[in-house]
Structure 1
Amino acid sequence: MTPWPLRTRKLAASSSSRIYTALFNFQSLLLVILLLVCTCAYVHSMFPAILDRNKDGVRGIFWKCARIGERLSPYISLCCVVMAISMVIN
């Protein structure tokens, strides 16, 4: 029986499929950011108190994303359409 590190190298070398995250694929990263902005804007329109009380700190990122989604909504919707078309083409 081979030691543990050698077994994992054999398994990794024999697998043909690779796993990519959104951090390493630029188009997926843009899609995640776009979905975050759209989701935050929707949540803020339904429940404004949730995001309004967390304007500072790490949770303030969601409030800022909601603000971007509200103020730049024509551009955000245009980006959604462009991303949808690019996903269909690829």
Structure 2
Amino acid sequence: MARKLYIIDGHAHIYAAFYARMHELTSPSGEPTQAVLIFTTAILGLIKNHKPDMLVVAMDSKAPTFRTKIYPEYKAHRPPMPPELPAQIDR
């Protein structure tokens, strides 16, 4: 039987979760948690419903990568990350 490997673009899904503004979700200390909660719920749902044998979540690096060496304009025109999001990604 073939094994199932799921590869998730973590940053794309975190951004989607961040902009799925139902209402603000925060930790008891007031930190925003909406993106990480929605992202984690989606991943757990994927595991429950599809039962992959392996799961990889790929995240963008904060440091420059080989892509910017090959193509200096890579992601050069993207707007900056919303200020509430980095702390949620780092969690």
How does the TM-score come out when normalised to structure 2?
0.26
Whose helix proportion is higher, 1 or 2? 1
Greater relative contact order (Cα < 8 A, sep 6+): 2
Over alpha carbons, which structure has the higher Rg? 1
Whose strand proportion is higher, 1 or 2? 2
How does the TM-score come out when normalised to structure 1?
0.27
